[in-house]
Amino acid sequence: MSPTCPYGLPQAIRHWIGGEAADSTDGSTFEVTDPVSNTPYAHAAAGGRQDVDRAVAAARSAFSAWSTLGNRARATILTRIADGIEAREERLAAFESYDSGLPITQARGQARRAAENFRYFADVVVALGEEAFRQGQEQFSYVVRTPIGVAGLITPWNTPFMLESWKLAPALASGCTLVLKPAEWTPLSASLWPEILTEAGVPAGVVNIVHGIGEEAGQALVDHPDVPLISFTGSTDTGRHIARSSAQHLKTLSMELGGKSPVVVFADADLETALDSVVFGVFSLNGERCTAGSRVLVERPLYEEFSRRLAERAERVTVGPPSDPATEVGALVHPEHYARVLDYVDIGRKEGRLVAGGTRPAHLPEGNYLQPTVFADVRRDARIFQEEIFGPVVAVAPFDNESEAVELANATQYGLAAYVWTSDLRRGHRVAHAVESGMVWINSHNIRDLRTPFGGVKASGVGREGGAHSVDFYTESKIVHVALSEMHTPRFGGKR
């Protein structure tokens, strides 16, 4: 099956350095494939150390003017970027869906969220104040916030454009210049940034984009001595490697890493609403979502019914071509990732009871398709309970009481998100406080407020971004102390 090519599909995806499209210094490229036919549709420039050097030099050159531009002026440019994204919503969604396999209706939502990220941080940077402290009549202290410098942004292949905007917007709002390294599996939508940024009036060199393989372009960005901070979203193993590599230059890091988020469903929960949330939370975005509720823990009186109905719903999820508006689960992003998810399905057959999915849909003989998959009766030591699969696969297990629910929820190395379903709000708060995760939703699915901190604990990452937390990451705070009266300092060495 060949996908329908979107309008304006480029045959070559080039770097964007110093306000100009550029090839790699050595001319290297790599093939980019779509997940429906798994055939190449374009070549992307494969950046290396020299290309990153060029990009960092351009960003450093642009830093002085951009960092000293007034907050209102930067906010105006961010608003224009949002306008440019919205004006290209259909084209952007088509590119994203074609390249990543996301259903087109969900890709449209990602485009709208990307625009909102820029509007939000335009508001934040104008409204954000600085702190001041008075020490009686003796001293006054105030905080000066300054952009750190050139930011290195490394983004993942799932919902790539939106997650790029999630880093670009606060970095630009804070006054940083930057080098973006998009994921090599999904570079297509990033090719729209140059025209959006240029149209919005972003000066040359403020944003630079270097495509390439993570081990080469990404590594060069992490190693560069003139890039003092790295924002990374991706796997825990890669995050550990970045932390080790960054130690030489003591870089500031913000890393959102893997997740194996629990959904705790008590017997008194609103069954229909909880079921809707579980199905959407683990199967939307093709299950390739860092905050997916991929471990569902159900109180035993409700367990059999919930497992049965979850399986029934999974079997009815519409799997199809990403470009079809009726599709709810599209094609997984890449053959390597597809094979990895299928390996976990095979592992799951030995570790749990397969109650739904586990196979390719019969009407889709080609492409990276998998029917949403549910395993029940999964033990806590099972790999499908412990390890991030990042696909439309969910493990279900029973619990007998609140303490066991918390114990099971915390029984992995990860701690990104968690979800609690109960009609007893006191219990909901107790469990939310006891679960080891950076974010918890009670009787709600993954609805984000951009003002709140986003990030995880344990192996799910370090640092927080979102709202003022993002501005804190991209800026340095300097405290200035001023004497208001004559200072009486102990006089050492005054005696003869």
- The DSSP letter of residue 203 is P
3-state secondary structure 234-272: CCHHHHHHHHHHHHHHCCEEEEECCCCCEEEECCCCCHH
Element (H, E) at 103: none
How large is the C-alpha radius of gyration of the chain?
24
| SS3 call for 467 | coil
Sequence-distant (6+) residues with CB within 8 A of 334 are 33, 35, 157, 185, 368
Within 8 A by CB and 6+ apart from 437, the residues are: 261, 415, 416, 417, 418, 456, 457, 460
User: Strands, E, within 365-459: which ranges?
Assistant: 373-376, 393-399, 417-421, 439-442
Angle CA(5)–CA(11)–CA(13) in degrees, nearest 5? 115
Give the rounded distance of the alpha carbon of 103 from its chain centre: 18
- Structure tokens belonging to residue 408: 């099971």
Task: Identify any residues that bridge with 147 across adjacent strands, giving them in sequence order.
Answer: 475
Which helix (H) or strand (E) segment is 340 a member of? helix 335-351
8 Å CB contact between 350 and 222: no
| Phi, psi angles (nearest 5°) of residue 63 | -65, -45
Tokens coding 200: 């919005």
State how far the alpha carbon of 424 is from the alpha carbons of 69, 229, 429, in Å.
51, 43, 9
Pick from 234, 325, 321, 318: which is nearest to 283 by CA? 318
- φ/ψ of 50, rounded to 5, equals -65, -40
Which active-site residues does the annotation give? 256, 290
All residues at 6 or more sequence positions from 490 whose CB lies less than 8 Å from its CB, including other chains: none
Length of the chain: 496
Sheet with 40-45: list strands edge to edge.
12-13, 40-45, 29-33
Q: How many helices (H) and strands (E) does the chain have?
A: 15, 21
Strands (E), 50-101: none
Strand partners, 441: 419
